Chain A
Amino acid sequence: MKKLEAVIQPFKLEEVKEALKGIGVDGMTVTEVRGHGRQKGHTEVYRGQEYKVDLLAKIKVEIIIPTERLEEVIDTLMKAARTGKIGDGKIFVYDVVDAIRIRNGDRGPSAI
């Protein structure tokens, strides 16, 4: 099993969700996060006081998938989240040791 952690533009969330649903990825966890990569931040001014804001609002999507679907899911996710401009975000891939369904104790890929 693999875990995909995708940090994406907030306004792309709906598209990503629909695209993943379209290929049968049903479960996901979404968090509002702040961060930055190569994208530059912006400046805010409050009564003349300037603040450089380099941590920008992003959405983090976490999904767990069977290893054999990895490339397909990455492909779908990329297509849905991409605008082609700097700031589109990144996808990180991790190995998952196990998964357990709390309700009935199912383990492994069948618990995803």
Chain B
Amino acid sequence: MKKTAFAIPLALGSAAGLFAQTAPAPSSTAALEASIKAAQSAGDNAWMLTSCALVLMMTGPGLALFYGGLVRKKNVLATMMQSFTMMALATVLWAVVGYSLSFGEGSPFIGDLRYLMLAGVGADPMPDYAATIPHQTWMMFQLMFAIITPALITGAFAERMKFSAMLLFMTLWSLLVYFPMAHMVWGKGGLLNAFLGGSIPCYDFAGGTVVHITSGVSALVCAIYMGKRTGYGSEPMKPHSLVLSFVGACMLWVGWFGFNAGSALSSGSLASAAFVTTHFAAATAALSWSLMEWLHSKPTVLGAISGAVAGLVVITPAAGFVTPGSALLMGFIGGIVCYFMVVKVKAMFGYDDSLDAFGVHGAGGTLGALLTGVFASRAVNGAIAEGKAGLLEGNSGQVLNQAIGIAIAWGIAIVGTLVILKICDVVCGGVRVSTQDEVQGLDLSQHGEEGYSLEG
């Protein structure tokens, strides 16, 4: 018994070995197991709560600053408000029905209503999703994703959408696009779930399909449906403060550690692996985007920070599946591809994706999801079954699975967004502000405030 009392405060890892020799009474084994569990839960929960806060920080102030700096002075508050609103609106939706529709075990396409009003979501872990942290922590972590995903879309319709229409759009988009997609990829029994019984296992570590493709592609649909900003192409629409954007982008980079490494759902070595790949991809993408610019003119600050964000997007689905070397390569490719989408392809087709939500998130998410099927490695993530890693480890079928996941994400985003925009058009009497309100600026016309006031 004395030995038992000693063993608990000692190194917990070796405790099991100790017991094989001393064969203690069953009751003390149970007590020991309970304390081992409690210790692991404490460690994991600490990291996961930190990650929750980091991911929330990505939306506010991260994304709000990044986007806010890119618009003109007269729209800075309205743009920040669009991100901030999601912190409130998505939270309420999530509590009422969103979490249940995403993570209740329902059909392969959408969850059921078992967690309506978060019924039964408490201190006990939900072993299918995250066995070592309270169910509440897992629920909160997923909520932070449900906040930032729709907020990313606001970059496409910046400077011209009615506030009322945006509220309705975001509510319907969460219900019709985000919750089903989150369920399909991450929910138990979801169609694309790679580890919980999906029929088409698609690897998406932290949201390449769920977050970036859905938001990025929906952004493109919004930009085309709503049309260009008044004066686009003839009036200057320079970012009003790259200083704000710079600060925001740096916060996104830091917050992304919570997003990706937090998606390990524990504080162990997988979190470290995802942390490393996240950082590495951001680094090479910042360099490759800058390099592309330098070949044509000067390496800009906006280019460097855009590249970093593109790299972070590309590595998101792959973060906990690929090696650091693959991450360096994926980031490098991502910076070039997203540069090409934003600078060349947008100009070629002439759509006004104001802040390049599609060029960075839609394109980067698609590229990342596809490359995850190439580089996924069993040595990095032991949860991958034998023979089920990526193309480089001999499983060419995974690229196909990824492609199906990508196609479904594109499809649901395109159809869902079109239907929702039509509804918003009818209900709100048009989704765009009047030309007069647009010229005046959304800060004054939608909110009755100014970001920068002479009298202040």
Complex partner residue of A46 from B302, B344, B346, CB under 8 angstroms: B302
Interface 1/0 per residue, B8-23 and A, CB below 8 Å: 0000000000000000
A53 and B60 alpha carbons, distance in the complex (Å): 33
Asked if A47 and B356 make an inter-chain contact with CB atoms under 8 angstroms apart, the answer reads: yes
Residues of A within 8 Å of B343, CB to CB, are: 47-48
Chain A residues, CB < 8 A from B342: 47-48
Interface string of B232-269 (1 = CB under 8 A from A): 00001111000000000000000000000000000000
Contact A47 B298 (CB under 8 A): no
Contact B306 A47 (CB under 8 A): yes
Residues of B with C-beta under 8 A to A51: 236, 238
**Contact at A46–B238, with CB atoms within 8 Å?**
yes
Assuming A45-B300, A47-B306, what are 13 further A-B pairs, CB within 8 angstroms? A44-B238, A45-B293, A45-B298, A46-B238, A46-B302, A47-B302, A47-B342, A47-B356, A48-B342, A48-B344, A48-B346, A48-B347, A51-B236
A residues at B contact (CB < 8 Å): 44-49, 51
Using CB atoms, name the residue of chain A closest to B344: A48
Residues of A within 8 A of B237 (CB): 49
Counting chain B CB atoms within 10 Å of each CB, which of A47, A48, A51 scores highest? A47
In the complex the two chains form, is A47's CB within 8 Å of B303's CB?
yes
Q: Please, how many angstroms separate the alpha-carbon atoms of A33 and B117 in the complex?
A: 58
Q: Would you list 15 pairs from A and B whose C-beta atoms are within 8 A, ordered by A residue? A: A44-B238, A45-B293, A45-B297, A46-B238, A46-B239, A46-B300, A46-B302, A47-B302, A47-B303, A47-B342, A47-B343, A48-B342, A48-B344, A48-B347, A51-B236
Residues of A within 8 Å of B346, CB to CB, are: 48
Specify the chain A residue showing the minimal Cβ separation from B70: A46
By the criterion of a CB under 8 Å from any partner CB, how many residues of chain B are at the interface? 17
CB-nearest residue of chain A relative to B342? Answer: A47
Give A29 to B436 CA distance when docked, in angstroms.
36
B448 to chain A: closest CB distance in Å?
28
Q: Given the complex, which residues of B lie within 8 Å of A45, measured CB to CB? A: 293, 297-298, 300
Which A residue sits closest to B293, measured CB to CB? Answer: A45
For A44, the closest partner residue in chain B by CB is B238
* CB closest chain-A residue, reference B289: A47
Which of A44, A45, A46, A48 neighbours the largest number of chain B CB atoms within 10 Å of its CB? A48
B392 to chain A, nearest CB (A): 33
CB closest residue in chain A, given B239: A46
How far, in whole Å, are A44 and B303 apart by their CA atoms in the complex? Answer: 13
Instruction: Give every chain B residue within 8 A of A47 (Cβ-Cβ).
Output: 302-303, 306, 342-343, 356
What's the least CB distance linking B148 to chain A, in Å? Answer: 21
Which B residues are in CB contact (< 8 Å) with A44?
A: 238
- For B302, the chain A residues whose CB sits under 8 A away are 46-47
Interface membership of chain B positions 282-319, coded 1 if the CB is closer than 8 angstroms to chain A and 0 otherwise: 00000000000100011010110010000000000000
Question: Please, how many angstroms separate the alpha-carbon atoms of A5 and B302 in the complex?
Answer: 37
Q: Taking the nearest CB of chain B, how far is it from the CB of A53, in angstroms?
A: 8
Give the complex CA separation of A49 and B239 in angstroms: 11
Expressed in whole angstroms, the minimum distance between the Cβ of A51 and any Cβ of chain B is: 5
CA distance A51 to B343 in the complex (A): 14
Q: Which residues of A contact B347 (CB under 8 A)?
A: 48
Contacts of A46 in B (CB 8 A): 238-239, 300, 302
Q: How far is the CB of B350 from chain A (nearest CB, A)?
A: 12
A47 to B293, CA, bound (A): 9
Q: Please give the distance in Å from A63's CB to the nearest CB on chain B.
A: 24
**Closest B residue by C-beta to A45:** B297
CA distance A49 to B293 in the complex (A): 12
Q: Min CB distance, A28 to chain B, in Å?
A: 21
Whole-angstrom distance between the Cβ of A54 and the nearest chain B Cβ:
11
A41→B199 CA distance, assembly (Å): 61
- CB-CB under 8 A from A49, the residues of chain B are 237
Residues in chain A near residue B300, CB distance under 8 A: 45-46
Residues of B340-378 contacting chain A, CB below 8 A: 342-344, 346-347, 356
